[in-house]
């Protein structure tokens, strides 16, 4: 029996941004072409014949927002037949995290605008992109409890309170600060820099810490497991 198949492949990028002042956000573009013209969506587009999925998602992200990111992790494949009114399109989605202040957003190609939106204040999204964002957020919340992926979003030297804010923001929980500190410090992957944070108000300035990736790598080669549970 002849096969009737006319399927296109696209990529979409869920880029989470984090800052200690604004918390967790998502990078979105405003579309300037139909369908869903002027509506907000994830950066992405069709994969070219000569490029890999990874090259395609990095290209689309940079073209539509000006953001370049070294690491995007593949999330899931979305292939509902009517997810795109133009064609049958299967989307391979990716997600990653960056510091928004590291980039100047520049919308181009299919994007009219590019903006960061707080995770709790997202606009209505085109296509099935709301579903993609929610799945990416679920994956991020899980991964940050078993891998120290958030340290690159902090300053090279940071007060412990900044690490608390990061976890509280991503996981959307009120941390038991004492237990959280105990869990993190027992891993031995933070180095006290012997410096104090700049005084910003009431209370004594706390010490500054630095993540030790070499120590973490050495620990991983044994039976060590980074495990932050909040049951």
Same domain as 113, residue 47: yes
Which of 143, 166, 184 is a domain's end point? 143
* CATH number, domain with residue 184: 1.10.10.10
Name the residue with tokens 């009431």: 202
pTM across the whole model: 0.92
Is the CB of residue 11 less than 8 Å from the CB of residue 91? yes
Domain span at 196: 151-220
Which DSSP string corresponds to 118-165? ETTSPPPBSTTHHHHHHHHHHHHHHHTTTS-TTGGGS-SSEEHHHHHH
* CATH number, domain with residue 92: 3.90.79.10
- Cβ-count burial of 158 within 10 angstroms (0-12 exposed, 13-18 middle, 19+ buried)? buried
Name the residue with tokens 């000006």: 66
Same domain as 112, residue 52: yes
Distance of CA 168 to the CA centre of its chain: 15
Task: Establish if 78 belongs to a structural domain.
Answer: yes
- DSSP state, 101? G
Q: How far is 190 from 184, CA to CA, in rounded Å? A: 8
What pLDDT is recorded for position 160? Answer: 95
Task: Establish if 108 belongs to a structural domain.
Answer: yes
Q: What is the 3-state secondary structure (H, E, C) of 185-202?
A: HHCCCEEEEEEECCCCCC
Same domain as 137, residue 24: yes
Task: Establish if 81 belongs to a structural domain.
Answer: yes
Mean pLDDT calculated for residue range 101-121: 95
Which of 89, 111, 143 is a domain's end point? 143
Question: What's the number of domains the chain is made of?
Answer: 2
Task: Establish if 228 belongs to a structural domain.
Answer: no
What pLDDT is recorded for position 203? Answer: 61
Same domain as 124, residue 38: yes
Name the residue with tokens 């933070």: 190
Which of 88, 109, 143 is a domain's end point? 143
Task: Establish if 2 belongs to a structural domain.
Answer: no
pLDDT > 70: what percent of the chain? 97
List b or e across 74-85, with b for residues whose CB sees 16 or more CB atoms inside 10 angstroms.
ebeebeeeebbe
Same domain as 184, residue 99: no
Chain segment 18-53, per-residue pLDDT in tens: 999 999 999 999 999 999 999 999 999 999 999 999
Task: Establish if 195 belongs to a structural domain.
Answer: yes
- Cβ-count burial of 138 within 10 angstroms (0-12 exposed, 13-18 middle, 19+ buried)? exposed
Q: Which of 23, 17, 29, 22 is nearest to 115 (CA)?
A: 29
Chain segment 53-93, per-residue pLDDT in tens: 999 999 999 999 999 998 899 999 999 999 999 999 999 99
Same domain as 159, residue 117: no
Q: How far is 62 from 150, CA to CA, in rounded Å? A: 22
Same domain as 85, residue 22: yes
Same domain as 176, residue 106: no
Report residue 104 as tokens. Answer: 């100047």
What pLDDT is recorded for position 58? Answer: 96
Is the CB of residue 141 less than 8 Å from the CB of residue 170? yes
List b or e across 35-50, with b for residues whose CB sees 16 or more CB atoms inside 10 angstroms.
ebeebbbbbbbebeee
Chain segment 119-178, per-residue pLDDT in tens: 999 999 999 999 999 999 999 999 999 999 888 899 999 999 999 999 999 999 988 999
Is the model's pLDDT at 231 over the cut of 60? no
């Amino acid at each position: 029996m002849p096969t009737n198949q006319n399927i296109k492949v696209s990529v979409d990028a869920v880029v989470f941004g984090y800052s200690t002042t604004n918390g967790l956000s998502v990078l979105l573009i405003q579309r300037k072409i139909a369908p869903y013209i002027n509506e907000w969506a994830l950066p992405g587009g069709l994969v070219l014949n000569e490029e890999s999925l990874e090259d395609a998602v990095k290209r689309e992200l940079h073209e539509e927002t000006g953001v370049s990111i070294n690491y995007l992790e593949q999330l899931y494949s979305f292939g509902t037949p009517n997810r795109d009114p133009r064609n049958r399109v299967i989307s391979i989605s990716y997600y990653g995290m960056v510091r928004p202040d590291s980039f100047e957003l520049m919308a181009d190609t299919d994007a009219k605008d590019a903006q960061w939106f707080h995770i709790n204040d997202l606009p209505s999204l085109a296509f099935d992109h709301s579903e993609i964002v929610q799945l990416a957020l679920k994956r991020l919340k899980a991964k940050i409890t078993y891998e120290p992926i958030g340290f690159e979003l902090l300053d090279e030297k940071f007060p412990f309170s900044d690490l608390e804010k990061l976890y509280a923001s991503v996981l959307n929980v009120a941390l038991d600060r004492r237990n959280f500190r105990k869990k993190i410090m027992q891993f031995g992957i933070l180095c006290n820099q012997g410096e104090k944070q700049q005084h910003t108000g009431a209370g004594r300035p706390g010490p500054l810490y630095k993540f030790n990736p070499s120590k973490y790598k050495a620990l991983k080669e044994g039976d060590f497991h980074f495990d932050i549970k909040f049951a």
